[in-house]
Structure 1
Amino acid sequence: MKALYIASSGMAAQERNVEVISNNIANMRTTGYKRARAEFQDLLYQQYRQAGATTSENGTMAPVALEVGSGVRTAATPRIMSQGTVAPTEKELDVAVRGEGYFMVDMPDGRTGYTRDGSFERSADGQLVTVDGHAIQPGITIPGNANSVHISADGIVEAYLDNDTIPTQIGQLQLARFVNKAGLASAGNNLFVETASSGPAQVGTPNADGMGDLLQAYLESSNVNSVTEIADLIAAQRAYEMNARVISGADEMMQATSQLR
């Protein structure tokens, strides 16, 4: 009975949906995290009669088709790249992007990673790095005699050295943007990597050419909405239960048929 396989595809799809939702909820407090959403597609249809098929010798045609689908599948899990809430941290090396753009990071395998997580640190040699120790592109080194660091909205990094009252510019942060940012591939550790679908990175200066501006001593929170995720979870659970009931009903029908035999 096809109903068993159709309903089982529905259960598998909702199981994947719950996995996506659970990952969103788990990352509610992850800096710069972008929520994902499961999208579904119906499967191939078995057509018993096509719309417009001749139904009599007089040439009358069927106004609608007679067809039965094969179930559902998870088609994609795109990320929703909307802006998360920007919250103050009171830490001078924390930087939030307000608007378009990603920080560029040197990954261990030589690739460039892209992130919205601006919780930067200073390495042993003064280099500006991520919490995992990956250097920021372009490289910025904070002198050892720097008393404080100032990062402007357009990415200019300045440091007050020794007893100087005038800051010294030590670098310029840059951002990258993409034609299709939803096409970026997740690499873990709050990093994305470029793909053929995302298009090449367009590098520019913050607060110019459509790039977002920077906020020092702020971080971007996750864009996960707990109420939305709980509502989606309940809907997924109910859909899973309905598919399970279909399997149970199909089993009862098959049992009744076998008893007739």
Structure 2
Amino acid sequence: MIEALYIAETGMNSQQELIEVISNNIANVSTPGFKSSDVNFVDLVYQTNPSMQNTQLSEQSQTQGIGVTTSEQMVNFERGDLKQTGNPFDIAINGNGFLAVETQNGELAYTRAGRLRVDESGYLVSSQGQKLSANIQLPPDVTSVTFTSSGAVLVRVDSSTQLVELGQLELVNFSNPQGLTRLGNNLYSATEQAGQPNFSTPGENGVGQIVQGFTELSNVSMNEEMVNLMLAQRGYQLNARIIQVSDQVLETINNLRR
């Protein structure tokens, strides 16, 4: 009976973590470029039941599980739908790859959210204010900005009709994107598990192309998440019920011993 309490506790903890992940997905259903997460469950170590040893039961039948736990969170990097905004500083990645940005501590982070803006110094930055690793600075008299599908940044200055190339955006790909660490605010950091960051011109080496005037929507499916949430809540309730019933049985046994 004690084992039942422990197993139910592990079930409640695992379902609670799943509920938190699903809730975060739902909260970011309108966040551009957001990628949904899921949780993988694994059985805890199996152990041999002493009361079943030296019996005719098979070795498999003599073992029992001691609960469940979450092994890892998996990020769904499937591309979200592209929505036209008409804003020239909105860019979407049509395919694989990430934009590289500089964090406050000078390290690189990676994002799919391409809602750009210009900071007070004229640099192209993310919506959160991180400077693009391409380090592109716009002059103050720019009248138009064009991002080509291959990542070239072209501007028209003052009354000139000529387009001037200021720089080149690159996209970053990883051999194992699941190894990236989620930092929050649509940012990811590289790890050994993700592999070395590979910088490429958009449209080459397996990375997507740049689409100007569009933003990538969240890939969260509200219908799917609501179903998952109901199932997770039901699983939590059932495990809580097991604990309640086990407690009642233990109380009855203790009363019989008096």
Q: Could you say which TM-score interval applies, normalised by the shorter chain?
A: over 0.9
Match of 1:116 in 2: 112
Please list the CA deviations of residues 24-52 of structure 1 after superposition, one character each: whole Å capped at 9, or x if unmatched. 11111111111110111111222137x9x
Q: How far off is 1:256 after superposition?
A: 2.0
Match of 2:135 in 1: 139
C-alpha root-mean-square deviation of aligned residues, in Å? 1.8
**Distance verdict in 2 for CA 1:63–1:135, change over 3 Å:** closer
Match of 1:98 in 2: 94
| Percent of aligned positions that are identical | 35
TM-score, L = length of structure 1 = 0.93
Match of 1:237 in 2: 233
**Distance verdict in 2 for CA 1:109–1:55, change over 3 Å:** same
Q: Check the 8 A contact 1:54/1:62 in 2, yes or no.
A: no
Tell me, yes or no, if structure 1 residue 32 matches structure 2 residue 28: no
What SS class does the counterpart of residue 37 from structure 1 fall into?
A: strand
Match of 2:192 in 1: 196
Equivalent position amino acid for 2:20 in 1: E
What SS class does the counterpart of residue 206 from structure 1 fall into?
A: coil
**Number of aligned pairs?**
256
CA–CA separation in structure 2 for the residues paired with 1:73 and 1:236: 14
Equivalent position amino acid for 1:186 in 2: R
Equivalent position amino acid for 1:7 in 2: A
Pairing of 1:141-220 with structure 2 (within 5 A): 141-220=137-216
Q: How far off is 1:169 after superposition?
A: 1.0
CA–CA separation in structure 2 for the residues paired with 1:82 and 1:26: 18
CA–CA separation in structure 1 for the residues paired with 2:24 and 2:59: 46
Equivalent position amino acid for 1:110 in 2: G
Equivalent position amino acid for 1:223 in 2: N
Q: How far off is 1:64 after superposition?
A: 4.5
**Distance verdict in 2 for CA 1:176–1:16, change over 3 Å:** same
Pairing of 1:10-29 with structure 2 (within 5 A): 10-29=11-30
CA–CA separation in structure 1 for the residues paired with 2:59 and 2:73: 37
Match of 1:227 in 2: 223
What SS class does the counterpart of residue 158 from structure 1 fall into?
A: strand
Equivalent position amino acid for 1:35 in 2: S
Equivalent position amino acid for 1:65 in 2: S
Match of 1:71 in 2: 67
Q: Structure 1 unaligned runs (5+)?
A: none
Please list the CA deviations of residues 33-80 of structure 1 after superposition, one character each: whole Å capped at 9, or x if unmatched. 11110111111222137x9x8757xxxx73742222111111111111
What SS class does the counterpart of residue 229 from structure 1 fall into?
A: helix
Equivalent position amino acid for 1:8 in 2: E
Match of 2:5 in 1: 4
Equivalent position amino acid for 1:220 in 2: E
Match of 2:245 in 1: 249
CA–CA separation in structure 1 for the residues paired with 2:44 and 2:129: 46
Q: How far off is 1:227 after superposition?
A: 0.5
CA–CA separation in structure 1 for the residues paired with 2:59 and 2:89: 67
CA–CA separation in structure 2 for the residues paired with 1:198 and 1:10: 30
Equivalent position amino acid for 2:33 in 1: G
Q: How far off is 1:132 after superposition?
A: 2.7
**Distance verdict in 2 for CA 1:256–1:55, change over 3 Å:** closer
What SS class does the counterpart of residue 37 from structure 2 fall into?
A: coil
**Distance verdict in 2 for CA 1:147–1:62, change over 3 Å:** closer
Q: Structure 2 unaligned runs (5+)?
A: none
Equivalent position amino acid for 2:25 in 1: N
What SS class does the counterpart of residue 74 from structure 2 fall into?
A: coil
Equivalent position amino acid for 2:41 in 1: F
Q: How far off is 1:211 after superposition?
A: 1.1
Equivalent position amino acid for 2:223 in 1: V
CA–CA separation in structure 2 for the residues paired with 1:123 and 1:63: 67
**Distance verdict in 2 for CA 1:145–1:252, change over 3 Å:** same
